[in-house]
Structure 1
Amino acid sequence: MKKLTLLLMIAGSSLAFAQTHFGVKAGYNLSGYKVGDYQLDNKSFFYIGGLAEHQLSEKFSLQGELLFTELGGQDSQDLYDIVGDQVVQMGTQKIRLKLPQIQIPISAKYYISKPFSLSAGLNFGINLNPNVEFDPENFYNSSGKIENIKTINVFPFLGTEYKIAENFFVDARYHFNFIRINKKGSIDSNISIFQIGLGYLFK
């Protein structure tokens, strides 16, 4: 009887502690696009969305989010043409790869000492319209959709968060480029992501 009472007390205290908070967040997104061994210039963009954090205990919680952002990279290449019997540089062509995404990060959080926590998880990025822009376009390169990108990209990440007030927090994450973003049968393409932002939790 004493054991049953103790178990009921533990279960009751766990249920009493468990709670879910909703919030919003926004911030800065820096992505690095790599094709094979070639690293393109980084792309800066914003991210914005909402979150739900379910507190399991004083130390642990689970968090899910729904964000919008855009990943990608940029580069440039010299353009040449043959004029008479000479090869002449005709200028520079800019290349911009854009991957607008709906992202669904899911993470486990550990509060080292409130208000400071560490997190780890997976970010599932749903590509909306991956495309490439050439400026200027020419006979060999024209702007349009990138056909060989997977519909869903997966990014493992580590992060940290600090509550600067009861409702406000700042967080930072780094997403690793372990998993290729393109379909098989072509040169591997990978993206790493750094994010930093500000959030607000509703009480």
Structure 2
Amino acid sequence: MKKLLLIAAIAVLGANVNAQEVRFGAKAGYSYSTLKMKEDGKSETSDPLHTFYVGGLVEYKLSDKFALQGELLYSPLGGKMKIQAADPQDPTTFLNFKAKRTLHTLLIPVSAKYFITEGLSVSAGANVGLILSAKEKLTADLGLGPLVELEGDQEVDIKDQVNALNLAPFLGAEYALENGLFFDARYNLGVSNLAKHAEGNGKLTNSFIQVGVGFKFGGN
């Protein structure tokens, strides 16, 4: 009986090992990023920043239905926020500006995947974002059409105003072809407060949508 149990255990283990598969790949795509400000029960969402992401991945398939995936991506995230400031020459007059905030971010998404069919899967996980640098550029809204870039204005470093960690849980879907090409989409919900010097209950978060294409290769 012990020998039979041992043989059965070895057979199950062997089947499990054969079912496991490791694949590496690369991906890139489009990001739709916004900033959301909350304070005193009020919230405001910025205009979007249309940007990109690029990086690599590793997928570890546990069975025909389940897999784990880790990635390393770069993306300049952020948003365009409306700002109203007093005219220094006439304090009773207010000027409208738009501040483009760009958060150059290293993303480390880790997810669990469930395969509905061989090619179609859904995923859930968490995106750990490390903000490498943060810049802000002002444009003037004169109400006469397109925004006007301020003369001589340069991007200002605001890294000391932003927390470095941007944690964003996400849901996604992927469709893969037999040749290794795949298409995916995700919604990442920012939960970390990015405002380093927020007053009271003020909170600044960054959420973003990713839609892209990639290629996987390798496997056991």
Amino acid at match of 1:143: V
Instruction: Report the Cα offset of residue 156 of structure 1.
Output: 0.3
Instruction: Report the Cα offset of residue 113 of structure 1.
Output: 1.1
In structure 2, relative to structure 1, the CA distance for the partners of 1:194 and 1:171 (3 Å cut) is same
Q: Tell me the SS of whatever aligns to 1:147.
A: helix
* Contact kept? 1:132, 1:146, Cα under 8 Å: no
Instruction: Report the Cα offset of residue 87 of structure 1.
Output: 4.6
Unaligned runs of 5+ in 1: none
Q: Tell me the SS of whatever aligns to 2:179.
A: coil
- Tell which deviates more after alignment, 172-181 or 2-11: 172-181
Identity of aligned residues (%): 33
Instruction: Report the Cα offset of residue 185 of structure 1.
Output: 4.5
In structure 2, relative to structure 1, the CA distance for the partners of 1:132 and 1:18 (3 Å cut) is same
Candidates 103, 111, 116, aligned match of 1:112 = 116
In structure 1, what is the Cα distance between the partners aligned to 2:165 and 2:36? 17
In structure 1, what is the Cα distance between the partners aligned to 2:102 and 2:88? 32
In structure 2, relative to structure 1, the CA distance for the partners of 1:22 and 1:10 (3 Å cut) is same
Unaligned runs of 5+ in 2: 140-149
Counterpart of 1:196?
211
Structure-1-length-normalised TM-score = 0.87
Amino acid at match of 1:99: L
Structure-2-length-normalised TM-score = 0.81
Counterpart of 1:5?
7
CA distances 1:6-41 after superposition (whole Å, capped 9, x unpaired): 111111111122121100000000111011112110
* Contact kept? 1:77, 1:92, Cα under 8 Å: yes
In structure 2, relative to structure 1, the CA distance for the partners of 1:10 and 1:192 (3 Å cut) is same
Please give the root-mean-square deviation of Cα atoms over the aligned residues, in Å.
Answer: 2.4
In structure 1, what is the Cα distance between the partners aligned to 2:160 and 2:14? 53
Candidates 158, 164, 167, aligned match of 1:151 = 164
In structure 2, relative to structure 1, the CA distance for the partners of 1:190 and 1:83 (3 Å cut) is closer
* Contact kept? 1:133, 1:144, Cα under 8 Å: no
Q: Tell me the SS of whatever aligns to 1:113.
A: coil
Instruction: Report the Cα offset of residue 165 of structure 1.
Output: 4.0
Instruction: Report the Cα offset of residue 132 of structure 1.
Output: 1.7
* Contact kept? 2:166, 2:191, Cα under 8 Å: no
Please give the residue correspondences for 1:31-50 in structure 2 after superposition, counting only pairs within 5 Å: 31-36=33-38, 37-50=43-56
Instruction: Report the Cα offset of residue 122 of structure 1.
Output: 0.7
